[in-house]
Chains A and B, each alone.
Chain A
Amino acid sequence: MERVGVFICHCGSNIGAVVDCARVAEAVRNYPGVAYSTDYKYMCSEPGQEMIQNAIKEHNLNRVVVASCSPRMHEKTFRACVEKVGMNPYMFEMANIREHCSWVHAGKNEEATEKAIDLVKMAVSKVCKNEVLQKGHAPVTKRALVVGGGIAGIQCALDIANNGYQVDILERTPSIGGKMSQIDKTFPTIDCSACILTPKMVEASSHPNIKLITFAELEKVEGYVGNFDVTIRSKARSVDMSKCTGCGTCMTKCPGKADDEFNMKLRKRTAIYTPFPQAIPNKPVIDRESCLKFKSRKEGKDVCGICAKMCPAGAIDYEQEDELFVEKYGAIVMATGYEQFDHSVYGEYGYGKYPDVISGLHFERLVNASGPTQGHIVRPSDHKEPKTVVMVKCVGSRDPEHGKSYCSRTCCMYTAKQATMIRDHCPDTKVYVFYMDVRTPGKLYDEFYNRTREEYGVDYIRGRVSKIYQEGEQLIVKGEDTLLGQQVEIAADLVILANAMIPNPDSEKMAQTVGIGYDKDGWFTESHPKLGPVETHTAGVFLAGACQGPKDIPDSVAQAGAAAVKVCALLSKDQLETEPTVSVVDTKLCSGCGLCVPVCPYKAITLETIQERKGGKTVERQVANVNSSLCQGCGACTVTCRSGSANLKHFTNAQILAEVDALCQTMQ
């Protein structure tokens, strides 16, 4: 006998101002199955929860419906509430009358109340069909994978490793270090980026709990929280890592040349290379696109091979191929970082054609002591020191037309930093900054910005640049000073654009591989913008650093630590509770057609042979069997099943149809 308790929440005025909660409670009081119905100001509050618990005891309720906010918000809260007084948490249902009703039908009180009654009736009809379910248990692989070896990935891995768990860092380039290794100085303290990053890189590489998997990519992710099977593609380095000593002899004589990506193509590198001198692992790879041997092989010849002749350890292996291997992990942290916006979409900045119009990251390499100019700030075109520098902020940021709608958060500060560095290196050089707004929220950030103007004498002009064009050796920058209301024209030697941060070009593909969400721009989506900033909607997958949205170094490091704590909390458990909302097959009905087997994305369904007594004889036949620890409860098999033998617990055919019927009945 179903005895449902219905509790309608006012959520203060959030629901109560639109939906007549007392009328909803009254309307369902005599609905089939309902034994008790009431409304209250705040159901999720302590007294609200006590009210539910007392009603369960007093009225001998065996099912509960709470009509309040989204179940994505408080389903857990109320399940725990009813469980405390001995009710099975799956005998509870929620009707969403806030997000789906009062908030979207403001002012339509009558219709919203009718709708709320419908939604509650649907929930009551469903809960009447609910069954007692018990959570299952699954083991946990006590090892984590961090995807991306930038500062966020390194910090996250170190934090996990220091807690005593094994962690692998997967990095697609030949070395860990990420974008931070390209940056010269960090704001607001102007300490050297490499000086604070490289010790962390060394610590990660020498930590007994950390394994580096560099020059490798994520190929496939299977499994579920606590038990991920990750397929990794280890790209062919053409160098045997076990033999190579990292002496660097091979790089000295290599005749193959390519643009140096690490130095923003401001100089050339050899075909066998390490991206930068402090690279970790400090062992080279052969770039097969620019290697003479591999290029000649495409033409049916086989030339060069100098590096193999030079190598004293015999580590060069031209025959190496990509390798695929599968590793088991309990948790995954995505720390895949960002890319720099390509300003060549902007005609006003010369479509990226002028060599002396450079991006912020170009400048970092120009000013870096180990960069292509040994730290001398010079124009890329003629290597002369610039006497006038114009910096332009918000290039690609806050421009929904051609760029991105969001603010990249870091550009105001790195522009200020770069302006002070120019003034430090070349005290005679004049620096102008065109800006829309100056945004400096952060510890000591605004003080730094003020110093840039007051002490370093950098000229900030509020306005946009309308055109940059070459005239003789100089670049003419035309713009508007909106504070003075006049046109400005500056003859500059060098223009530095503060390009926006954008997600990796393949971030969407990566998100699909791992099975997490991403937003309209391609940033990975956190499970809650405020309360779940490092979690994703996929259990066991966490986010760190700029892959979630534009972030500076302090924020990335902080988020990496937060993600590490979540990972450690997960790995500290010996067993994980698994949701009982999985598929089951009624073997009496199953005809063993096997259609459900290929449909299942988790390979949870197999055909097995059972023995039956039929007509006095024992016969064997095949039926589908669901492995409940693999099943994630999507329900694909239930619809595929011809005989209707597959059903999804907690979302059974009967339960869904009861909801449909309840809704339609209210129409008659």
Chain B
Amino acid sequence: MSNNAVENFEPKILVFACNWCTYAGADLAGTSRLQYPPNVRVLRVPCSCRVNPQFVLRAFQRGIDGVLVAGCHPGDCHYTTGNYYTRRRFLLITRMMDYMGIDSRRFHTRWISGAEGPKFQQVVTEMINEVKAIGPNDKFRDDAKIEVKAVETNE
């Protein structure tokens, strides 16, 4: 990719938002007219614990540049304990991404309550800027053109 293309790069970020806290927080950002860059798409799930790490991997595989999983603050889960599972599961996925050589800054887990419209704005804005700096996800996607260096063997 040319430098120019990287400079004009507009990442696409998928947000898995729990229905009770973060989706409401994103709604509040809307009703408060808090502006943020239009690079995010929110996908509503009942609870952040509904997000299977496989969904996240699939999104990366299909070429998404960043994924945010966001739910209620620990202790505030509508279903009492859901976000504790989220926290543990996605700690592991971050490590797995590191291990696989994918920049784990492409993935974040955040707690955003229904009263935190400004936090939603702040979190997504920061993440967009971060992913913009990293550049497009061209390593993990199915159609990635991986340069394979031919290894000469003597056999």
Question: A-side interface residues toward B, CB under 8 Å?
Answer: 70-72, 96, 98-101, 103-106, 108, 111-112, 114-115, 118-119, 122, 508, 511-512, 515, 517-520, 525, 537-538, 581, 599, 601-602, 632-636, 638-640, 648, 651, 653, 656-657, 659-661, 663-665, 667-668
Chain B min CB distance to A219 (Å): 14
Restricting to B71-89, which residues have a CB under 8 Å from any CB of A? 75-76, 78-82, 85, 89
A632 in complex: contacting residue of B75, B79, B115, CB < 8 Å: B79
Q: Are the C-beta atoms of A115 and B85 separated by less than 8 Å?
A: no
What number of B residues sit within 8 Å (CB to CB) of A?
A: 50
Q: Are the C-beta atoms of B55 and A636 separated by less than 8 Å?
A: no
With both beta carbons as reference points, the residue of chain B lying nearest to A101 in the complex is identified as B38
Q: Are the C-beta atoms of B114 and A103 separated by less than 8 Å?
A: no
Q: Are the C-beta atoms of A639 and B51 separated by less than 8 Å?
A: yes
A660 in complex: contacting residue of B37, B47, B55, CB < 8 Å: B55
Q: Are the C-beta atoms of A104 and B43 separated by less than 8 Å?
A: no
Q: Are the C-beta atoms of B30 and A664 separated by less than 8 Å?
A: no
Q: How far is the CA of A111 from the CA of B44 in the complex (A)?
A: 21
> B46 interface residue, CB < 8 Å from A?
yes
Chain A residues whose C-beta falls within 8 Å of the C-beta of B50 in the assembled complex: 634-636, 638-639, 648, 651, 656
> B97 interface residue, CB < 8 Å from A?
no
B115 in complex: contacting residue of A119, A519, A667, CB < 8 Å: A519
Q: How far is the CA of A177 from the CA of B75 in the complex (A)?
A: 31
Q: List 28 A-B contacts (CB under 8 A).
A: A70-B23, A99-B29, A99-B30, A99-B31, A104-B30, A104-B35, A104-B121, A105-B37, A114-B38, A122-B43, A518-B76, A519-B115, A520-B115, A599-B85, A601-B81, A601-B82, A632-B79, A633-B46, A634-B50, A634-B79, A635-B47, A635-B50, A639-B50, A639-B51, A653-B52, A653-B55, A656-B52, A663-B14
> B131 interface residue, CB < 8 Å from A?
no
A660 with B30: in contact, given A104-B35, A636-B79, A667-B63 (CB under 8 Å)?
A: no
Question: Which of A70, A511, A520, A634 counts the most B-chain CB atoms under 10 A from its CB?
Answer: A634
A639 with B38: in contact, given A512-B75, A525-B115, A599-B85 (CB under 8 Å)?
A: no
Chain B residues whose C-beta falls within 8 Å of the C-beta of A101 in the assembled complex: 38
B58 in complex: contacting residue of A104, A511, A657, CB < 8 Å: A657
Chain A residues whose C-beta falls within 8 Å of the C-beta of B27 in the assembled complex: 70, 72, 96, 99-100
Q: How far is the CA of A96 from the CA of B143 in the complex (A)?
A: 30
A663 with B12: in contact, given A99-B27, A601-B80, A601-B82 (CB under 8 Å)?
A: yes
A656 with B43: in contact, given A634-B50, A634-B82 (CB under 8 Å)?
A: yes
Count how many pairs of residues, one from A and one from B, have CB atoms less than 8 Å apart in the complex: 150
Q: How far is the CA of A608 from the CA of B62 in the complex (A)?
A: 39
Chain A residues whose C-beta falls within 8 Å of the C-beta of B113 in the assembled complex: 517
Q: Are the C-beta atoms of A651 and B46 separated by less than 8 Å?
A: yes
Q: How far is the CA of A118 from the CA of B36 in the complex (A)?
A: 17
Convert B15-56 into 0s and 1s, putting 1 for each residue whose CB lies closer than 8 angstroms to a CB of A: 000001101101101110111111001111111011111010
Q: Are the C-beta atoms of B46 and A635 separated by less than 8 Å?
A: yes
Chain A residues whose C-beta falls within 8 Å of the C-beta of B45 in the assembled complex: 635, 651, 656
Chain B residues whose C-beta falls within 8 Å of the C-beta of A108 in the assembled complex: 38
Q: Are the C-beta atoms of A118 and B31 separated by less than 8 Å?
A: no
